[in-house]
Amino acid sequence: MKKRRSLRALTEKEKTELVRMARSRSAPHRLVQRGTIILAMAEGCTQAEAAGRAGLSASLVGAWVERFNQEGIAGLWDRPRSGRSTSYDELSKGRVIQAAKTDPRKLGMDFGHWTLDRLVGYAAKHVGISVKRVQIYRWLKREGLRWRKEQSWFSQRCDPQFAEKRGPWLTFISAKGRPRPASSA
């Protein structure tokens, strides 16, 4: 048999904070759900009804009610989770970000622009950390930097005789809108 959990009486301050939390458009969705659960239970809903409002299971609603009863609003926030700690210290991140902002030639590199692959190599060789491209991308994004793919422009040809070597090119557009090569007559 499932254990029914009842909600303790709310203070005015808690009720105000829960309403703000449940109506928030900028708070994490999990927090909005939890605020909705507690408010529904305070209005006299059953666990199943509160679960329906929040889109969760009734057993999960009971767990959040229990945690709220013990810890208050602070209990609705996520707790720190166990797991692997961050692998990169702030100094290493900063050195990679600083390198990305610097002209590679000034750092003694033999290329003129950074790519994510080149930053990975730089981090391994000069900073001493092994980091993936996607992680460097995340760091740059958090710094407000946008990564752009290299673009090439046809403004100047490497070969000055390119046009002569290419031969005749497009001279008119056909009636169907398709380009036709120039006649060589």
Check whether residue 64 and residue 22 sit in a common domain.
yes
pLDDT beyond 50 at 176: yes
Return the residue matching tokens 């710094």.
Answer: 143
pLDDT(185) > 70: no
What confidence tier does 23 reach under pLDDT thresholds 50, 70, 90? very high
pLDDT tens-digit map of 135-174: 999 999 888 887 766 555 555 556 677 667 666 665 555 5
What local confidence, expressed as pLDDT, does residue 87 receive? 77
Write phi, then psi, for 35 (nearest 5 degrees): -65, -40
**Which residue range(s) make up the domain with 59?**
12-76
3-state SS, residue 173: strand
| Domains contained in the chain, number | 2
Q: Is residue 178 part of a domain?
A: no
- Give the model's pLDDT for residue 1: 43
Same domain flag for 95 and 59: no
Q: For position 181, what pLDDT does the model report?
A: 59
Sequence-distant (6+) residues with CB within 8 A of 175 are: none
What separation in angstroms does the CA of 146 have from each of 80, 136, 137, 140, 153?
30, 12, 9, 7, 20
* pLDDT at res. 68: 95
Q: Are residues 101 and 137 in the same domain?
A: yes
Give, for 171, the enclosing helix (H) or strand (E): strand 170-173
First-to-last CA distance in the chain?
Answer: 94
> In whole angstroms, what is the distance from residue 158 CA to residue 167 CA?
17
Phi-psi region of 20 (alpha: psi -120 to 50; beta: other; left: phi over 0): alpha
The predicted-structure confidence for 56-98, as pLDDT tens digits, reads as follows 999 999 999 999 999 999 999 988 888 877 778 889 999 999 9
Q: By the 8 A CB rule, do 19 and 39 touch?
A: yes
Provide the CA 177 distance to its chain's centre, in angstroms: 43
Using the 3D structure, point to which of 45, 76, 107 is the last residue of a domain.
76
Give pLDDT tens digits for 103-133.
999 999 888 888 899 999 999 999 989 999 9
**What is the pTM (predicted TM-score) of this model?**
0.47
